[in-house]
Amino acid sequence: KHAGISYILLPMDTAGIEVQPLRTMSGDIGENSFNQVFLTDVRVPKANVVGKRGEGWKIANTTLEHERNSLNANAEGTLMRLARLMNNETMGGVPAMASPVYRDRLMKLQARALSMKHHGMRMLTCSLKGESPGVAGLVVKLQNCQLNFDMAALALDVMGELGALYEHTKYERERGYWQAHSMFSLGLIIGGGTAQIQKNIIAERGLGLPREPKPAKV
C-alpha cells in the first residue's frame, strides 16, 4: 500500500511555496523550526526524486532511522549542565546538590543517560556494519525524549519559584534555558511519531505482540 509514495527533494525557494511561522507556547516565533507550509501549484523536476519512484516509504524510514541515531548525542552534556545548576542553586544557603532527594534524582538520570550512550554506540555499530538496528532506533527516540523532559523537570524543581519564570528578567537562570528545554522536550515526545505510536511499533515489530485492535467502524 506504500508503493505509490515517492521521495522528492523540494528547494524551499521554489515558486508556490509559502512558509508561515507559528508562535510557540514559549511566545517565540519559530521561523526556523515551527511553521506551516503551503504548496500552491508547485512543480519540481523529475531529477529531484530520490532513489526510484515508489520507494519513498523505504527512504523516509531510512531518513528517520538516521535521525533517531543522533538523538542521544546531547544527553550527557545536558546532564552536566544540570549538575552545575544544582551546585549553584541554594536552598537556605545550602546547594541543591546537598539534598539527598535531588541528588538521588540526578543519579537516576545519569544512569539513564549512560544507558542511552551505550545504546547509541550499539546503533552506530549496526550502521558501520551496514545492518539495520531495527526497533532499537525507536527505543532511543522514546527514551531520549522522556529523559530530556525529566532532566528539565528536575532543573525547574531545583529553581523553585524561579522555575515558573518564562519571561526574560534579571531573576531568570541561564537565560531561560531550562524553561525552553522543558517545552521543547514536550514537542519531541510528539514530533516524529508520538510516544504512544513508538510503543505500539516496538511491541508489535520488536516483541512480536499482536497488533492493537482497530475500533469497529460505525
Active-site residue set:
67
Phi, psi of 23 (to 5 degrees): -80, 130
Non-local (6+) Cβ contacts of 183 within 8 A are 24, 25, 26
Neighbour-count burial of 187, counting CB atoms closer than 10 A to its CB (0-12 exposed, 13-18 middle, 19+ buried): middle
- In eight-state DSSP terms, residue 206 is I
| Angstrom distance (rounded) from CA 78 to CA 139 | 20
